[in-house]
Structure 1
């Protein structure tokens, strides 16, 4: 998904281990006043990363149609995970695929890619999460790539778990990533409690989609993201009414990035150069075939230079 804010904020991020904290979502309208609204928990001033996860939009259930024209990405991977609906994906790597509930679509932007996203006529309601992964400096110019995976549902107690990235509950995803990561959907039955073994060198985030959930004794409301720092070996989730959560994790990223619009780079000048190349339609991003419309133009850069903004110590 594109970040189609009219005036996207610039973000320079650092990753530092922190204590357990609640990240509140902020409502962001995408594509104008009549377009879909999302609840964004990453990035924000309170925290910019969870592992390499640097962007988290949670949307729906929404009856708005999605029609995002071809737009660019650099230095990141996009992770699409739906609960309801269907989205048609086309990209400049030549991939034509569909995003469906319970199926992972992971696209590598690397040096540069562009893609379009359109909800299909079979889709009446959209509900899901759109996530970005920052690529480490050594791999951020990786070639374009696309991976699709349908994880099996595994059961632990009264919890149903789908591991789309990394490893959890004895299930391991075959999807390749550039840093150690975890991504999983967990559905808890009413009055369920589950304790999961987690990696002590990972930090984790628990996004509550629907229902009610507690992380140990800390309650979340829908849309909130509960952050847990490194050093823990277990994660306990409990619910009264039932819940669906998305668990994100990874080793602390340990690098600074500059993120503006749909670009991830390291400096203001890099971001400005990416924007110029997109506007000039260079080969860095390629072309999307089959989309019946024009490319999405880049918004103007801010008046000043993009400045660092990271996690508080």
Structure 2
């Protein structure tokens, strides 16, 4: 997974205390993947006033039927990451993942790829032309300060715990929900769950009140926290909720994310998550100077096959404060 924007904004994401229970919609932005073949994704994180939900700091919906321009995601050549975990969750299609720690796997719908960059990793993603058009979600999780220098590693989970009750099924991608805990390794208290409601269902999900939560509808009709939610935007639900009532007439499919409000400042630029402008500059220099101790080679890709880093902005970063959502 890569942010292919050739002119990425540099952002300082400041921590903020939880606002209590709220229900605020944040629209998706249509973002071109570097202008490649006119392919767009819908991005709901980061937002100017909502840079993170827990440690979730980046959230793309690719292959969505709601974007005005469509097309298969492009093959993404080797590129670097620091300071984050990447989460890939496809609904259709097949994706081949290769990285600098030796992973070479294909992911299918219902399987989870989780890559932890730590101090530095490089990877590529190629989409199968023999499979149906790719559609799915790609997200980043910011690593806390005590984990930013961990050894990079990759894990694929082909079996994930499922919570089932009348009218609802939830696959727990990471963290815990309703007594089910994912085997995916987390470095902060966090939750990600793929939830489907049957037509006519009214369901109440128990939540961790210490977490802030948000929902993005993928399909169907959904009413949550007295808010009608269409596919596309992110519904931010705030903190201090012990449960959540969900209603649907025709059935619904959505992603529920959450986590303890992230208590650290984050600087996000291109494919890097750091703590300072200087840290981002150093990572960019290491990538451009081909520092193989930090960003090793990827088997099957020649050295010249790589995405170059875009130029850094001419100015030092400016703080971007998270607006209270009331």
Give the TM-score category using the shorter length: over 0.9
2:122 corresponds in structure 1 to: 114
What is the alpha-carbon distance in structure 1 between the residues aligned to residue 116 and residue 58 of structure 2? 15
Residue of structure 1 aligned with 2:271, choices 262, 265, 273: 262
1:295 corresponds in structure 2 to: 306
Query: Under a length normalisation based on structure 1, what TM-score does the superposition of the two structures give?
Result: 0.96
1:36-55 matches, cutoff 5 A: 36-55=39-58
Q: Is the 8 A contact 1:15 1:51 kept in 2?
A: no
What is the alpha-carbon distance in structure 1 between the residues aligned to residue 130 and residue 14 of structure 2? 41
How far is 1:87 from its partner? 0.4
What is the alpha-carbon distance in structure 2 between the residues aligned to residue 10 and residue 132 of structure 1? 16
1:190-269 matches, cutoff 5 A: 190-269=199-278
3-state DSSP class of the match of 2:280? Answer: helix
2:135 corresponds in structure 1 to: 127
Residue of structure 2 aligned with 1:307, choices 310, 314, 318: 318
In the TM superposition, what whole-angstrom CA distance separates every residue of 1:107-133 from its partner, at most 9, and x where no partner exists? 000100000000013323111111000
Q: Is the 8 A contact 2:194 2:253 kept in 1?
A: yes
Residue of structure 2 aligned with 1:58, choices 61, 67, 72: 61
What is the alpha-carbon distance in structure 1 between the residues aligned to residue 142 and residue 258 of structure 2? 13
How far is 1:63 from its partner? 4.2
Q: Is the 8 A contact 2:207 2:241 kept in 1?
A: yes
Q: Are 2:12 and 1:31 equivalent residues in the alignment?
A: no
Which runs of 4 or more aligned residues in structure 1 lie more than 2 Å from their structure 2 counterparts after TM superposition?
Answer: 121-124
The alignment of Structure 1 onto Structure 2 pairs a total of residues equal to 313
In the TM superposition, what whole-angstrom CA distance separates every residue of 1:146-201 from its partner, at most 9, and x where no partner exists? 11112144312111111011111231112211101111101111111111111110
Q: Is the 8 A contact 1:209 1:244 kept in 2?
A: yes
What is the alpha-carbon distance in structure 2 between the residues aligned to residue 260 and residue 29 of structure 1? 16
> Which runs of no fewer than 5 residues in structure 1 stay unpaired?
none
Residue of structure 2 aligned with 1:93, choices 78, 81, 101: 101
The Cα RMSD (Å) is: 1.4
Query: Under a length normalisation based on structure 2, what TM-score does the superposition of the two structures give?
Result: 0.93
What is the alpha-carbon distance in structure 2 between the residues aligned to residue 116 and residue 35 of structure 1? 20
Seen in structure 2, the aligned counterparts of structure 1 residues 15 and 194 have a Cα distance that, compared at 3 Å, is farther
